[in-house]
Structure 1
Amino acid sequence: MKLNLLGILSLTLFAGACSNHASTAAFSYADTVFTQDYSVKYLADEGQQGIFRRVHTDREGKVQVLAVDGLKQPSNGHFLYPGHIVADHSYRFMSAKHLVDMAVCKGQLIYLDSHVIFSNAWSGRLSIEHQLANPTAFAVNDSLEFLVTDGEQVHFIDDNAVKWKGEVPGGKVLQLISHPSDHTFFFVLTPESIYRFSAVTHQLEKMHGGSGFTSADVDARNNQLVVGTSDGYFKYSLEERQVKGGLNRQLPWTDIGVVRVIDGTYWFGTDRGAFAVREDGKIDYYAGKRWLPDDLVTDIARGAGQSVLLLTQSGLASIHFKPMTLLDKAMYYERQVRERHIRNGFNATLTGMTGGDVSTGYLGDSDNDGLWTSLYLAAEAFRYATTGEQQALDICMESLDAMARLYDVNPVPGFPARSFERRGSGDTRPMLSDPERWQLAEHPDWYWKATTSSDEAIGHIFAFGVVAELVDHRETREKAIRLIDTLMGHIVKNDLYLVDYDGKPTTWGRWNPEYVNAFPTNVGDRKLNASNIIAMLQTAYHFTGKPIYKEKAFDLMENHGYLENLLRPMDEIGKAAEHADDWSRMLSGAWNHSDDEMYFAGYWGLYRYAFNDTLKAQYKDAILDHWEAERPEKEGAWNIFTAITGTDHFDRDEAIWYLKEYPLDLIQWTMHNSHRQDIAPLPPNFRNQTTEEVLPPDELKISRHNANRFILDGGSDGTAENSAGDIWLFPYWMGRYLGVIEAPINE
């Protein structure tokens, strides 16, 4: 009978709470197509590293790699599943040629060998003796005129014959370049000079002198050369015959080895990866094994379709640029979670991988299985409330069942385990994370994990509240309400503590005033714990109607200063004084980003289930104050969360930027950025904000919402793949439900 009454009450509350749905529609993002980049990699076999010289694509999309020992081609690569570089036997007699360079003209591949310039296109008719004993490089224009060099001499070829021979002063020719739209000129690059050769007058003239030149290409749209050096790059106007804007050193890495201009974007290859400078001046950095086989880039070329090829010493990366909507991206991530990240109903990490190979991993346990699953559960509840899709409801039911088992797998009434796992054969606890925390369950085949923390508790109450409010399915909603009552009943009965199997409060499950108010007012845990417990009690009262939860909340706010605690401005939070106790000083050494996650998870129940409008207005001020402190991180979840207050000022564009820029590849690759010259470092500070501007998510290590997005270096060399369930699907579907993000126009 009690469940029926709870169900009836929840139906009434469901109708009322949903009035906030799409309240921010006037400020919503229209989900139109954007460009999503991702990498398909092709790896060299052992012993082949360092032999790759050049890469090109012909008009049919065939990719060829010129190596020291002949022609190669990429084979059988897919996103997340690297292919290989293998020998190209398409033209078997090519193996007799001693190839030193290749180029593309009119979409066809042309080769330079020790005797001739030739091609297999045009019926094989192109075959011209260049008359150089040891050629090193050549260039061709669309008139099928050629410039070829041995590093000192230069020969010009027209109408299948050598028409001019000359020497470059000082020698050391690095590169020959044709002008893609003006066929009357070629350019010759040496370490100290840029020369122009006229195909009409056969004159070689020096245009510009300097030092440290390494590579160049023509920007035809602006009629200028883009010249890479060992210390940055510069642009040289071919019309004005002068450098424009000086040397640009605000780059990820300034020692440039390769320059290519592709569709108006400047691409640079270095020994620290590649980067693209877009026409608007924004930089996209491609480094680390998320993007490349290795970071020593030896060549760059246009790929087939919307792609760019980055050749490195140990393989090839094809960077694809795919038109997608945010919904397209969401559906890809939905598949990723279902295929590789569900463990006993939990939203789990694939771990124990070797070199980023997802087929080598296993589903690992976590201290926070309940928390990460809470966020995934909330995501699918938002999805179901928005779309009504049966799959979303099925996932909600599965995830909620896993959460429910946390409460009945252990012997303590109302106490949620952190996780549970099978025993296997013998005592397998040493195979689990934190083996000392695992306890034997009553069932002979299971362990459960103890020492549950406050971040688990607030995550549970948040997700259960979202399900109870938004999932229009009686059994599921009643189950969520029962779990809210179960957890909060335990906490209230135990004097606002989480009490473990040993009869003692867990280290972090403490909301009692004696604990909370023992902290100095500027220590974040005092504000956080007060904010969380009031949110939890409000949620419990909202869905169960039990007076004890409301009475306890008002007692804390009116008699123990919890309202003052939770409303304390964020700019007052900092390090405890030197004379403070050790615990306070330890907890306040720096900004805690896990606390941010706990705050915002609590804000759902704090604001939406406020006891009255006066409190709701005060809560809104506290949420917006916290959001102001978070703004530099451009954290998608916290920006979207802030929209629950109805404000029209919540950095919507930054939230969309976060969702677009998060990489499709969620493998924990090691990423390095601290060497970059294009970031402005900040001195050490309490928030551990290392730079003025946060880098895009696809240039950083994979991080959950409880991490500092200003950490420049990190990762684990491809040993794990994170689930998109909590990282990306949670903010996206919350944004869809709140009306921050619209459905695609063609949905």
Structure 2
Amino acid sequence: MKYIQSKLLVVIGLLMGLTAVHGQHLPTSNHRTHQDIPFIQEYSVKYYSSDDTGDLKKVYSDRNGTVQVLGEKWLLRTHAGAFLYPGSFTADKTYLAMKDKNVRNITTVENQFVYLDDKAVFSNAWAGSLYLKHGLSGAVNFAHGEDFSFLVSNGSTIHLVNKEGVSYKGKISGSPVIGITYDKNSGNYYLLAENKLMSFSASSKKLDILTEGTGFTSFALREGKNKIAIGTTDGYFEWNLLSNKQEGSKNKALPWPSLTSLVEINGLLWFGSEQGAFMQKEDGKFNYYLGERWLPGDKVLHISQKNEDEILILTDKGLAKLVFMSQTLAEKAIFYRNQVRDRHIRHGFNATLVQMEKGNINSGRIKDSDNDGLWTSMYLGAEAFRYVTTGSADALQNMKESLDAMERLYTINDIEGFPARSFSRSGFKDQLGGSVHWQDASDPEWVWKATTSSDEVIGHVFVFGVIAELVDNEALRQQAIGLLDQLMTHIVENDWYLIDFDGKHTTWGRWNPEYVNGFPTMVGDRKLNSSNIIAMLQTAYHFTGKEVYKKEAYKLMDKHGYLENLMRPMEGIGKAEEGSDDWAAMLSESWNHSDDEMYFLGYWGLYRYAFTEELKEKYRIAILDHWEAERPEKDGLWNIFGALVDRENFDLEEAVWYLQEYPLDMISWNVKNSHRKDIELLEPNFRNQSTKEVLPPDELKLRRHNGNRFDLDGGNNGKEEYSAGDIWLLPYWMGRYLNVISEPLPE
């Protein structure tokens, strides 16, 4: 977003398409720091129709904020409805006499509701004095002109009506009229049919055909521009009213070109289509609203403005109220903090809400995960950075609870230094995911999950290092250092393996040179495992002082080539060459984004706890090489990690863009983008980058940092809500700690 000091101007700025993050980034201590002033956060409040609602047609709001929907059977009002808590419709019984009115259309004049029925144009505003008989059988369309005059049409005939009565009657040949609008600058009404655009002069009573074509569906007057935008079944074009010519060619490069509705709001075009709604920004690109994150249904019927910061979008399955709220990143962090604590903490773990009924957050349960230790490490890191930055007692207590959960991963089994993936009460063992890996604890009340992987281990080491280095609570520091030492002792004494309950190494807990160097150099696991284990050993040495960790790290680097492995440029990572074994071929089929997460979490210990300045410089080169490869994804966490090694040249604007554009709604709604005509698709490639430019997070499916941000389609039908603990709070609070994001600035 462009930053504007006034909250009011921020809101208006959004509606005018000022959506690129080119904000004011003032220097702090000679470094680039994002100044946290208000930006625009979008969210949707949805109202679902029911079987007895009937077809929906139009939606408007009056000056009182009352929303009224024109339905097939009756006028409707919205009932209840709030963010994350959908509302519904109820018949509007406000005025008893309206029950007998056969309302065919609705609009607003001076922000008051005005109706068209089979007899008249009328309103309940202005003390009910507006009642103009139009005398037109089957009237379905109308528009307000000057001084309470209206042009009314039944498709084939038009009547101009005012306080004196019907002043004009005329016939329309060909396709029926489907829409009417009025231009106060010229004094002309404009009428749209499926095959032509017409003008009607209220003063001369002259009807002219301006242009003809096919497939016209909707139109919008461009205020102050002497143009009309015309939507079709295959894109839109603009007609210049002064030159009476089409401007340029038809624009088909839209998210979806089959248009159903078109309106101008604050100078920008909003489009309804068979596949969602979209707003054209000043740079010509689009904000796209599709799927139940935004809309109850895909087919858009009508769009109107409610007030300066709300847009109403009526669909075939209900109504969406888009709200454009002004907030700071700090305020967004508070919202997410409450989300995590309210429904994403399981025994201290940072967990996902699952088995929800179509987005109903009160219907789900918090689930164990193979990655409980990893997701909790990332959330625990966020709370550690929050505590260090703000001194929050709440953050400290959250840390204690989550670190206790982490510690219990080590104590719930009998294997010294081996962390379980997760633990749970035993009564529901048969219902737990991946039940084959669940083992009975010594206490029959509990079970624990085996087969721990390197994903969990690097997450543990990352957060143990963060706590040990930064947190001024000695009990927590010693707890973290003790767990770190136990874990690394297990790995060193077991020849660089994680040894499970059965005495065998786990599938992924392997850093042994024979395994690591058994991969061809282009297979990513050779570089990744080398980078991770050196980071882990450096972290252990830094906080325990045990020489064994330093000695073994140098042995891996000097004797087994781990330094060469981790320094290998990312451009050399690709598919295993022909003739490689099946394991190497499987691991190198395409780019692994979980590997990215493991790399970057490891970079904390690799860079900050380097044995020497010479090594630190080498690590810096390797980290920046990886970061450069990841730049197209615009992942907020990778960019914040970039600031760890280069405060001046990391992508600050893109990190802020990620944090600002991430949806407040963290529900796994289905999304679709592969059909879009406004994005540039790439040929299949090793990195699975599907488009030239990554789409905003609020137009993509929900995913953690280990997901491919170029996946265009997907979701889980609203059955899950992700925790913000690892996805959003970690990059934000890490950015606050590194002072690349400021505290919220006073207004």
Normalised by the size of structure 2, how large is the TM-score?
A: 0.95
The yes-or-no answer on 1:62 pairing with 2:66 is: yes
Distance change in 2, residues 1:239/1:744 (3 Å): farther
Shift of 1:224: 1.6
Matches within 5 A, 1:562-577: 562-577=562-577
Shift of 1:647: 3.9
Structure 2 residue corresponding to 1:32, chosen from 34, 37, 44: 37
Matches within 5 A, 1:178-189: 178-179=182-183, 181-182=184-185, 184-189=187-192
Shift of 1:244: 2.0
Query: Does the aligned pair in 2 maintain the 1:143–1:183 contact within 8 Å?
Result: no
Q: Corresponding residue for 2:468?
A: 468
Query: Does the aligned pair in 2 maintain the 1:24–1:739 contact within 8 Å?
Result: no
Shift of 1:247: 1.0
Matches within 5 A, 1:496-511: 496-511=496-511
Q: Corresponding residue for 1:440?
A: 440
Q: Corresponding residue for 1:405?
A: 408
User: Quick check: 338-347 or 208-217, which moved more?
Assistant: 208-217
Counterpart secondary structure, 1:285 = strand
Q: Corresponding residue for 1:196?
A: 199
Query: For the residues of structure 1 that align with 2:293 and 2:108, how far apart are their CA atoms?
Result: 29
Q: Corresponding residue for 2:24?
A: none
The yes-or-no answer on 1:89 pairing with 2:89 is: no
Shift of 1:280: 2.8
The yes-or-no answer on 1:282 pairing with 2:285 is: yes
Shift of 1:142: 5.0
AA aligned to 1:126 is L
The yes-or-no answer on 1:683 pairing with 2:683 is: yes
Matches within 5 A, 1:297-336: 297-336=300-339
Shift of 1:222: 2.3
Q: Corresponding residue for 1:12?
A: none
Counterpart secondary structure, 1:414 = coil
Q: Corresponding residue for 2:645?
A: 645
| Percent identical residues | 54
CA offsets 1:644-678 (integer angstroms, 9 cap, x no match): 00341111111111111110000000111111111
CA offsets 1:451-477 (integer angstroms, 9 cap, x no match): 000010000000111111111111111
Q: Corresponding residue for 1:4?
A: none
Counterpart secondary structure, 1:671 = coil
Shift of 1:575: 0.4
The yes-or-no answer on 1:135 pairing with 2:139 is: yes
AA aligned to 2:433 is S
Structure 1 residue corresponding to 2:231, chosen from 217, 228, 233: 228
Task: Flag structure 2 segments of 5+ consecutive residues without an equivalent.
Answer: 1-26
Normalised by the size of structure 1, how large is the TM-score?
A: 0.95
Counterpart secondary structure, 1:205 = strand
Q: Corresponding residue for 1:601?
A: 601
Counterpart secondary structure, 1:477 = helix
Q: Corresponding residue for 1:5?
A: none
Query: Does the aligned pair in 2 maintain the 1:379–1:730 contact within 8 Å?
Result: yes
Query: For the residues of structure 2 that align with 1:403 and 1:441, how far apart are their CA atoms?
Result: 16
Structure 1 residue corresponding to 2:340, chosen from 333, 337, 340: 337
Query: Does the aligned pair in 1 maintain the 2:222–2:267 contact within 8 Å?
Result: yes
Counterpart secondary structure, 2:37 = coil
Shift of 1:24: 7.8
Query: For the residues of structure 2 that align with 1:43 and 1:512, how far apart are their CA atoms?
Result: 56
Query: For the residues of structure 2 that align with 1:447 and 1:265, how far apart are their CA atoms?
Result: 58
Q: Corresponding residue for 2:4?
A: none
CA offsets 1:178-201 (integer angstroms, 9 cap, x no match): 22x426111000112111111121
CA RMSD of superposed structures (Å): 1.3
Counterpart secondary structure, 1:605 = helix
CA offsets 1:241-277 (integer angstroms, 9 cap, x no match): 2222321111110000000111112111111111111
Query: Does the aligned pair in 1 maintain the 2:161–2:167 contact within 8 Å?
Result: yes
Query: Does the aligned pair in 2 maintain the 1:669–1:715 contact within 8 Å?
Result: yes
Counterpart secondary structure, 2:644 = helix
Query: Does the aligned pair in 1 maintain the 2:31–2:647 contact within 8 Å?
Result: no
Q: Corresponding residue for 2:7?
A: none
Q: Corresponding residue for 1:539?
A: 539
Shift of 1:633: 0.6
Shift of 1:93: 1.2
Shift of 1:284: 0.7
Query: Does the aligned pair in 2 maintain the 1:365–1:419 contact within 8 Å?
Result: yes
Query: For the residues of structure 2 that align with 1:160 and 1:446, how far apart are their CA atoms?
Result: 84
Query: Does the aligned pair in 1 maintain the 2:519–2:526 contact within 8 Å?
Result: yes
Query: Does the aligned pair in 2 maintain the 1:105–1:140 contact within 8 Å?
Result: yes
Shift of 1:67: 0.4
Distance change in 2, residues 1:618/1:231 (3 Å): same
Query: For the residues of structure 1 that align with 2:164 and 2:741, how far apart are their CA atoms?
Result: 60
Query: For the residues of structure 2 that align with 1:56 and 1:706, how far apart are their CA atoms?
Result: 43
Q: Corresponding residue for 1:6?
A: none
Distance change in 2, residues 1:23/1:58 (3 Å): closer
Query: For the residues of structure 1 that align with 2:470 and 2:731, how far apart are their CA atoms?
Result: 16
The yes-or-no answer on 1:419 pairing with 2:422 is: yes
Query: For the residues of structure 1 that align with 2:145 and 2:404, how far apart are their CA atoms?
Result: 66
Q: Corresponding residue for 1:388?
A: 391
Query: For the residues of structure 1 that align with 2:68 and 2:145, how far apart are their CA atoms?
Result: 20
Query: Does the aligned pair in 2 maintain the 1:269–1:300 contact within 8 Å?
Result: yes
Query: For the residues of structure 2 that align with 1:575 and 1:59, how far apart are their CA atoms?
Result: 62
Shift of 1:704: 0.2
Query: Does the aligned pair in 2 maintain the 1:221–1:264 contact within 8 Å?
Result: no
CA offsets 1:493-513 (integer angstroms, 9 cap, x no match): 111111111111100000010
The yes-or-no answer on 1:377 pairing with 2:407 is: no
Structure 1 residue corresponding to 2:209, chosen from 193, 199, 206: 206
The yes-or-no answer on 1:673 pairing with 2:678 is: no
Matches within 5 A, 1:623-638: 623-638=623-638
CA offsets 1:131-173 (integer angstroms, 9 cap, x no match): 1111111111352121110001111123341111111231411
Query: For the residues of structure 2 that align with 1:455 and 1:667, how far apart are their CA atoms?
Result: 24
Query: For the residues of structure 1 that align with 2:537 and 2:325, how far apart are their CA atoms?
Result: 46
Shift of 1:25: 6.0
Query: For the residues of structure 1 that align with 2:332 and 2:663, how far apart are their CA atoms?
Result: 10
Shift of 1:237: 2.1
Query: Does the aligned pair in 2 maintain the 1:523–1:574 contact within 8 Å?
Result: yes
Query: Does the aligned pair in 1 maintain the 2:53–2:73 contact within 8 Å?
Result: no
Query: For the residues of structure 2 that align with 1:481 and 1:142, how far apart are their CA atoms?
Result: 77
Query: For the residues of structure 1 that align with 2:554 and 2:732, how far apart are their CA atoms?
Result: 34
Query: For the residues of structure 2 that align with 1:67 and 1:618, how far apart are their CA atoms?
Result: 67
Q: Corresponding residue for 2:125?
A: 121
Q: Corresponding residue for 1:242?
A: 245
AA aligned to 2:568 is R
The yes-or-no answer on 1:495 pairing with 2:495 is: yes
User: Quick check: 729-738 or 207-216, which moved more?
Assistant: 207-216
Structure 1 residue corresponding to 2:112, chosen from 67, 86, 108: 108
User: Quick check: 476-485 or 521-530, which moved more?
Assistant: 476-485
Q: Corresponding residue for 1:733?
A: 733
Distance change in 2, residues 1:23/1:573 (3 Å): farther
Query: Does the aligned pair in 2 maintain the 1:153–1:171 contact within 8 Å?
Result: no
Q: Corresponding residue for 1:175?
A: 179
Query: For the residues of structure 1 that align with 2:168 and 2:112, how far apart are their CA atoms?
Result: 25
Distance change in 2, residues 1:572/1:620 (3 Å): same
Query: Does the aligned pair in 1 maintain the 2:458–2:532 contact within 8 Å?
Result: yes
Shift of 1:478: 1.2
Structure 2 residue corresponding to 1:267, chosen from 270, 274, 280: 270
User: Quick check: 619-628 or 273-282, which moved more?
Assistant: 273-282
Query: For the residues of structure 2 that align with 1:109 and 1:520, how far apart are their CA atoms?
Result: 72
Q: Corresponding residue for 2:723?
A: 723
Counterpart secondary structure, 2:673 = coil
Counterpart secondary structure, 1:176 = strand
Query: For the residues of structure 2 that align with 1:657 and 1:503, how far apart are their CA atoms?
Result: 47
Structure 1 residue corresponding to 2:162, chosen from 158, 162, 166: 158
CA offsets 1:79-120 (integer angstroms, 9 cap, x no match): 000010111100011010001001000011000000111000
Query: For the residues of structure 1 that align with 2:484 and 2:219, how far apart are their CA atoms?
Result: 64
